[in-house]
Structure 1
Amino acid sequence: MPLHIETPLIASDSLSQAAGRRIRLKLDNLQPSGSFKIRGIGAACKAHARTGKRRFVSSSGGNAGIAVAYAGRCLSVPVVVVVPETTTERARALIRAQGAELVVHGAAWHEAHALAQSLLGEEDAFLHPFDDPLLWQGHATLIDEVAAAGTKPDAIVLSVGGGGLFCGVVEGLRRNGWQDVPIVAAETGGADALARSLAANERIALDAITSIATSLGARQVCKHAFTLAQQHPVRPAVVSDQAAVQACERFLDDHRMLVEPACGASLAVAYGQAGALADAADVLVVVCGGVTATAQQLHQWHAALDANP
């Protein structure tokens, strides 16, 4: 049995009215670990456990680490997760609550990642948060579920950090014969590595992550994501931190679900009637997760952003 669940696919009246078109939501925030990450990470952890690996080591900004910790607990395999200092206290607590060992290191994810890799022993498996074919195969099940529902969307909106979800969705579209469906790649300003790379026609690394959407906090998308973005129809959509937070608050009112700003980036595209959706009558929005955020944090971010627009 997989460690992820098949999540609901629902029509959103409130978002459809705001966007002026049909909006459907794939609610992967309802996964056991709180985000889509468990699809790929669960599949990878099960594969490594079958080969006899005795410990899982991962680097994460939050959601991937929670997923690895959850998978390790389910499979009775010890887990070490290294997170940067920017990872929220709530995310840290959730990782520890699954029984994983948590190490906090570095000002950004790439520094945590380097330390995590240095901890690897012969019997350890490394769980990358986004750059691993095993992850992409697992994440592709999201599209398998949508295809099984029988309605092909005109466009798919998803948030992009390191590119793992993007790679998985493209793989899912291809294996279901939907490779013509465009992807609207939502990012927040200051974590917009994919949009800048596509504009420059080369994979670039941001000098720093300046967005509050720390779950999107990879300074560079993985090589495979950039390659796919040059092959598949992709429409970059960069929104402000303020728009992402406001979308989270509005989504909480509309659907009684709390998501984080990284997910709010995708919701902001729909709420804001983005030009990237102009020719799409039926849009699928991937609600990727929100377990690392709290209502209090959203209010604090909103106040801080209003004070420093």
Structure 2
Amino acid sequence: MVNRLILANMTTRPVRTVLSVMAVAIEVLLIIMVVGLTHGILQESALRTQGVGAEIMVQPQTTSLFMGFSGAPMPVQIADVLEEIEGVRAVTPVMVQASTSGGVTLIYGVDPAGFDAVSGGFRFLEGHGLESPDDALVDDIYAASRNLQLGQTIELLNQQFRVAGIVDHGKGARIFLRLDRLQDLMGSLGKASVFFVKLNDSSHVSAVLDKMRQVLPNYQLRDMEEYVSLMVAGNIPGLGNFISVIISLAVAIGLLVIFVTMYSTMVERTREIGVLKSMGASKGYIFRLVLRESALLTVCGIGAGIGL
């Protein structure tokens, strides 16, 4: 009996029912998109960093997990100290800078020889390496998104660079410049943001890390697997709060839509409610009827949002 009443109420005004369900569905879709997009971006960034090929990365003690916004406070001479540690095959200093031109894009300033020793080198799809200070390498994804061609001039950090090569993606950044050129642009000569360390044997990561911590106690040393596992929204300052606020707003708007729908329903159905009371229906019965209809609308909205 109750279920038939609820279905009858919902089908009597189908437009309102559909609009209520879609309003809840949009809020659910918003939550899924924000959370999924955030986690996807973080994981993609972490996997690209792991794709450099190093087993260990060295950063300043107070740096953020999300590279590109922490400057370059470390002297490049640290690379010489790291190379003397037993078990280390190669070390390369990298300067990381975020470019906000047309969206946030990471730029790596690299020493070509050192970066190749750690990463195994770029896989060139077109062009050649960083031969002059004004050369830039871009990965295939960035080139496709900007319709870039080999030899084309691009503006980075208010300077003009020539696309010298297009490389396969997955080596950390989307754009690569010479280390000394990026240092000069940022006014950080002789400085680096991170050191990537390649080992002779990747199974000895823990032992080499212990030795490094003895030599560099005031720096942040992580193996790549740990770095990837830490790249979640809760570990990025402010990002977890941002997601929580978006979710709270979406839930509040969804509840408000249901409340307004039920309020208008109650106002328009005073005659039906009067008939139910004359038949002996209690206030609690009518209240439960309204709640069950609200719950059904919410469930339908959630299902529609997930389905979209």
Q: What TM bracket, shorter-length normalisation?
A: under 0.3
Name the larger-Rg structure.
Answer: 2
Normalized per residue, the structure richer in strand is 2
Q: Which structure shows the higher helix fraction?
A: 2
